[in-house]
Amino acid sequence: MNALLGIEWLKIKRYRTFWVLAGLFILLLPLWNYEVENGFIRLGGGKDGINFLNSAYSFPQVWSNLGFWGSIFITFISILVIILTTNEYTYRTNRQNVIDGWSRMQFFHSKVLLVVVLSFLATLYLFVMGMLFGGVNSGSLNSLFSEFEKVGYFFLLSLDYLGFALIIAILIKKSGLAIGLFLLYSMIIENILKSVINHNLDKPYGNLLPLQASDELLPFPLLQMAKGMIPMGATLSMTTYAWMAIAWCILYYFAGRLILSKNDW
Amino acid sequence: MSPILSIQKVSKAYGPIQALKDVSFDVPEGCVFGVLGPNGSGKTTLLGTILDVLIPQAGSYSWFGGMKAEDARKQIGSLLETPNFYHYLSAYNNLEITGRIRKNGIDDRIRVLHQVGLFERKDSKFQTFSLGMKQRLAIGAALLGKPKVLVLDEPTNGLDPAGIAEIRELIRTLHKEGLTIIIASHLLDEIEKVCTHVAILKRGHLLLNGPVDEVLHSEDQVEVRAADITGLQNALQSMPGIKKIRLSDNTLQLTCDANTDTAQINEFCIGKGIVLSHLLLRKKSLETKFMELTGT
């Protein structure tokens, strides 16, 4: 396992695109949240609007908030996974790895491990940011670990998004098309599908779609406050969503295995 | 001695196109095995199949008498179709990845780069390489860690004549060192110079395979020309010992049996009142045999 990761690192560490995309994630997460904290998004707009997210960066709400914005920025890492995988197809280095002595599954597992490690690192980074923001904004550390499950949810969400990106890359094989399809699906198509299913079935099963399942784990922070005020549609429990996200990840794994073992490279 | 590679009834189709049909042969240890065929005959498909890059619809193959495929590949240096490397990495760093996957050869990189003449460019990024340099790097990667077997798909692709001669010398040297080398090519004179065994493919069918001596036979060819070609041809039809007469380019190519020599032909023609303007003995070449077999 270490051998596989070591070789993946050799492939990545000198690749400028990796550093750019990782750097964007690393930079934007704290920067964006700092801006939000200082009143970037206000109800009513303008300097006199209500900065309703002000209290959102102290413990324990910081976990929810960072988690939500993290779930947006994970897109950068997803694009990275797609590029790294489609590159192997474009330059046929996937073939070369197998010819040199890897089994097909070893190649697949090196990419799966990449997804897991990137998810872990993103979550770790989120944790550190959370401690920083929360530490600065909270009076006490009493409520540090309440709502801490959001950090775990972020790890699941990362696995879900990155795993989905990996499968898209394996299926489409061309970077531009794969990225386009991924963004189109995650931003537009899934929302449409979700609404259609929810409406037609009159139950929130549309929330169980691949990326949506983990999106539900880390909703927009406003919802916490507005749940009382605005009538929201029915929703399923967090546990259900968590299990669904895990199920999707398992599906991605076996789908990848099947595709890569049965086809010509 | 068990064969290094044994292929049994491999068939592979790309949709409606049957690229390989029931191909079977063995590659003995220590030989230089040429896989020949016109373009589209299935050479690259065959090599791709035995390297687990392509999946056959039927048939099987085994390396080293049944070793696990990926372990076998770690001892096989291969070049398949095109040089495939990470374009943003240098030659030296690309070889590092090759060495790590094979778990062997990291220390061998400098030697191999010298061997293929890329030492001066070892730190240049792969994307800056010319076609010939890319090909050399691919050959270098195949040589990394001194593998027991080489599988080379058109190794001289993109190389200048000096490069082609270098490859020929390299193959000869490695053959002497005991390596088994499998080469796919359509450059018949190159194959003829280095191979000990051949397999000839045409449109996915194996036409024949075996040692080069057996495949070539000892059928020499004699070229003759005279002022009256038709008269000469008619006269030679009646000469015993001439197995076949073919007219090409105003010259008659005669296939004779082992007992007939040029002096006899000359004497025969004079006896018939025909003076030959051209008489040449040619050892039968692989190219001629190849053209015969593949019907071109």
Res A100 pLDDT > 60: yes
Nearest to B73 among A93, A100, A264 (CB): A100
Which position has the higher pLDDT, B131 or A207?
B131
Residue A33 pLDDT more than 90?
Answer: no
Question: Which among B46, B53, B148 is the top mutation candidate for probing chain A, defined by the most A β-carbons within 10 Å of its own β-carbon?
Answer: B53
Predicted complex ipTM: 0.86
CA gap A62, A243 in Å, rounded = 24
Contacts of B54 in chain A (CB under 8 A): 264-265
Contacts of B55 in chain A (CB under 8 A): 262-264
pLDDT of residue A47: 56
Across the interface, of A11, A99, A263, the residue whose CB is closest to B73 is A99
| Residue range B2-16, pLDDT digits in tens | 889 999 999 999 989
Q: Find the mean pLDDT for residues A72-98.
A: 95
Q: What is the pLDDT of residues A127-145, one digit of tens each?
A: 998 888 888 777 667 777 7
- Quote the CA–CA distance of A146 and A143 in Å, as a whole number: 5
| pLDDT at B33 exceeding the cut of 60 | yes
- pLDDT band with cut points at 50, 70 and 90 for residue B55: very high
Smallest Cβ distance to A103: which of B55, B70, B102?
Answer: B70
Residue A54 reports pLDDT greater than 70:
no
Asked if residue A171 lies in contact with residue A259, where contact means CB atoms within 8 angstroms, the answer is yes
- Residues 189 to 218 of A: which have CB under 8 A from any B CB? none
Beta carbons within 8 Å of B204's beta carbon, 6+ residues apart: B12, B18, B19, B20, B21, B23, B41, B42, B45
Output the pLDDT for position A84: 96
pLDDT at A227 over 70: no
Which DSSP string do the residues of A201-233 spell out, in sequence order?
A: HSSGGGGGSHHHHHHTTS--THHHHHTTTSPPP
Three-class DSSP category at B124: coil
Give the per-residue pLDDT at A43.
Answer: 56
Q: Which of A171-185, B145-159, B261-275 has the lowest mean pLDDT?
A: B261-275
For residue A22, pLDDT beyond 70: yes
For residues B244 and B289, give the distance between their C-alpha atoms in angstroms, rounded to a whole number: 14
pLDDT in the model for residue A44? 55
| Structural domains of chain A, count | 1
pLDDT at B18 exceeding the cut of 70 = yes
For residue B271, pLDDT beyond 70? yes
pLDDT of residue A231: 54
Angle among Cα B141, B24, B284 to the nearest 5 degrees reads 80
Looking at residues B122-146, what average pLDDT do you find?
94
**A197 has pLDDT over 90:** no
Q: How many helices (H) and strands (E) does chain A have?
A: 11, 0
pLDDT at position A97 is 95
Residue A65, pLDDT > 80, answer: yes
When pLDDT is cut at 50, 70 and 90, the band that residue B152 belongs to is: very high
Q: A16 — contact with chain B (CB < 8 Å)?
A: yes
CB contact under 8 A, A10 and B88: no
Domain extents for chain B? Answer: 5-216, 221-294
In angstroms, the CA B23 to CA B204 distance is 8
The mean pLDDT of B168-174, rounded to a whole number, is 91
The 10s digit of each residue's pLDDT in B205-251 is 998 888 887 776 556 778 888 888 888 888 888 888 788 888 888 88
Is the pLDDT at A32 greater than 90, yes or no? no
Overall average pLDDT of the A30-40 stretch: 78
Collect all residues of chain A within an 8 Å Cβ-Cβ radius of residue B53.
Answer: 95, 98-99, 264-265
* pLDDT, position A41: 61
| Chains A–B, number of C-beta pairs less than 8 Å apart | 74
CATH assignment of B221-294, given 3.30.70.100, 1.10.357.10, 3.40.50.300, 3.40.50.2020? Answer: 3.30.70.100
- Give one DSSP letter per residue of B65-113, joined into a string: TT--HHHHHHTEEEE-SS----TTSBHHHHHHHHHHHHTS-GGGHHHHH
- Specify the pLDDT at position B243: 80
Dump pLDDT digits (tens) for A66-84.
888 899 999 999 999 999 9
> Mean pLDDT for chain A?
86
Average pLDDT over residues B144-164: 91
Q: In what order do the strands lie in the sheet with B5-14?
A: B17-27, B5-14, B58-63
Q: pLDDT tens across A119-129, in order?
A: 999 999 999 98
Q: Which residues contact A117 (CB under 8 A, 6 or more apart)?
A: A5
- Write down the pLDDT at residue B136: 93
Please state, for a pLDDT cut of 90, what percent of chain B lies above it.
Answer: 53
Q: What's the rounded mean pLDDT across residues A167-185?
A: 95
CATH topology of domain B5-216: Rossmann fold (3.40.50)
Expressed as residue numbers, the domain containing A51 is: 2-262
Q: What is the mean pLDDT of residues B256-265?
A: 80
Domains B5-216 and B221-294 share a fold: no
**Residue B140: pLDDT above 90?**
yes
pLDDT at A220: 78
Going by pLDDT thresholds of 50, 70 and 90, the confidence category of residue B172 is very high
Query: Quick one: average pLDDT of B101-130?
Result: 93
Mean of the per-residue pLDDT values for chain B? Answer: 89
Under DSSP, the state recorded for B238 is T
